[in-house]
Amino acid sequence: MCGRYAASRDKATLVREFDVVAAPAAELPADYNVAPTKQVYTVVDRAPGSEPDAPRRELAVARWGLVPSWAKDPAVGSRMINARVETLTQKPAYRRAVSRRRCLLPADGYYEWYEPPDGPLGRGGRPVKQPFYIHPADGSVLAMAGLYEFWRDPDLPREDPAAWLWTVTVITTSASDDLGRIHDRMPMCVRPDDWGAWLDPALTDGATAVGLLTPATPGWLAAYPVSREVNNVRNNGPDLIEPIEAA
């Protein structure tokens, strides 16, 4: 799964990198320990107002952890931070979103935890896992494929902006051979040449949309061990992605 990632690019940088034409007023701070339920930037192609044939690229702010429109309690989002690419068109929570509400989640890189087969044991006799930071080797932006949904609070008037909750999930796939030794899953990343096709709201066939996604090319992503300080969501800062000596 993908449960933590780093996102330090500011709004102006993301506007340039993704050719965005509409951006939110809010500016999110650099975050080197993005965790579920936090506010994150997301990139979408949406039709403004009543112009279905004129979609525009937007940078928006959403909460990480998808809440289906039919959910009775938004708390379910904390359990829906990832969506497996293999079952997107089958699961009720994702089936409609993959057909109509696809997005990109910009990141610098993400974290995964490796369990050494003969490593030290921690509390309760459980193995101590080593966090790794995984990122594009060339320093480019990591555009994670995602889905988004809108959930309305039935206790508030429909026209009240506070009644609407925008949420997202990260699509995951089997890890490539060079990263599978760390963890068996990884985010599905979209290359720049495929951003337009993935975001295109005119594409409403979920199976076709899923077919646009391909695993990362071996060697594109680099990985190195980092401090266990990232384990605590209260810790933040660029020091979390500094490499440490491998044990």
pLDDT in tens, 75-87: 999 999 999 999 9
Task: Label residue 1 by pLDDT band (50, 70, 90).
Answer: low
Cα–Cα separations (whole angstroms), residue 245 to 20, 31, 132, 224, 226: 39, 24, 11, 9, 8
The answer to whether residue 119 scores a pLDDT higher than 70 is no
Task: Label residue 102 by pLDDT band (50, 70, 90).
Answer: very high
In this predicted structure, what is the pLDDT of residue 184? 85
Backbone angles phi, psi at 36, to 5 degrees: -50, 145
Which amino acids are annotated catalytic?
Answer: 2, 112
Q: What are the structural domains of the chain?
A: 5-241 (3.90.1680.10)
Element housing 99 (H / E): helix 92-100
In percent, the amount of the chain with pLDDT more than 90 equals: 73
d(CA 131, CA 239): 13
Q: Would you call 63 helix, strand, or coil by DSSP?
A: strand
The answer to whether residue 23 scores a pLDDT higher than 70 is yes
- The string of pLDDT tens digits covering residues 38-95 is 999 999 998 766 555 678 999 999 999 999 999 999 999 999 999 999 999 999 999 9
- Provide mean pLDDT across the span 143-153: 95
Closest CA to 127 of 222, 1, 232, 228: 228
The answer to whether residue 122 scores a pLDDT higher than 80 is no
**Comparison of pLDDT for 128 and 59, the residue scoring more:** 59
**pTM reported for the whole predicted model:** 0.93
In this predicted structure, what is the pLDDT of residue 115? 84
Residue 116 buriedness (CB in 10 A; 0-12 / 13-18 / 19+) = exposed
Query: Among 4-13, 53-62, 173-182, 205-214, whose mean pLDDT is lowest?
Result: 173-182
The answer to whether residue 160 scores a pLDDT higher than 70 is yes
Q: Tokens representing 58? A: 């937007």
- The string of pLDDT tens digits covering residues 210-235 is 999 988 888 899 999 999 999 999 99
The answer to whether residue 247 scores a pLDDT higher than 70 is no
* Average model confidence (pLDDT) across the chain: 91
**Comparison of pLDDT for 11 and 217, the residue scoring more:** 11
Cα–Cα separations (whole angstroms), residue 192 to 7, 80, 142, 156: 18, 26, 10, 39
